[in-house]
Amino acid sequence: MAQKLFIYSITLFFLLSCTQKPAEKPSYSEYTGILVVVGNEPFSAFALDDGQGHITRLQYDKRIEGKLNTLQGRKVRVYGLPLPEEQRVQLKSIDLYKKKTE
C-alpha cells in the first residue's frame, strides 16, 4: 500500500512539473502617423512619422508591402509590438486613420 502511494505521488509530481503556464498574449501598441519611406535603395524601409520629429521604423513581412505602398504618404494607424532595438515596431496590422470628428 505504501509503495502504491509512493508511485502515485511520484507520478502526480511528474505530471504537475510537466504542465506549463499558459503563454501570455502579446500586448499590441497603437501608433499613428504619416507612413513614409526612409533610407536609400536597396536598404529603404517603411517608417511612421508622428509629426513631432520621431521616426519609428516598421518591421514587416513582404506580403504586406503592397498595402504599405498604397498607404504611403497618408495618415495611418499601426498596431504592433515594440522591439527593443532603437525605435522599431513589429507590424501586426495597419489601416487608414480616420477620426470620427473628421
Task: Give burial (CB, 10 Å; 0-12/13-18/19+) of 90.
Answer: middle
Q: Give the residue from 44, 28, 38 showing the smallest Cα distance to 91.
A: 28
pLDDT digits (tens, 9 = 90+) for 67-87: 999 999 999 999 998 888 777
Residue 8 binned pLDDT confidence (cut-offs 50, 70, 90): confident
pLDDT digits (tens, 9 = 90+) for 22-51: 666 667 888 899 999 999 988 889 999 988
Q: Is the pTM of this model over 0.75?
A: no
* CATH architecture of residue range(s) 29-96: Beta Barrel (2.40)
Q: Cell digits for 55?
A: 521616426
Sign of CA dihedral 34, 101, 95, 91: positive
Residue 21 binned pLDDT confidence (cut-offs 50, 70, 90): low
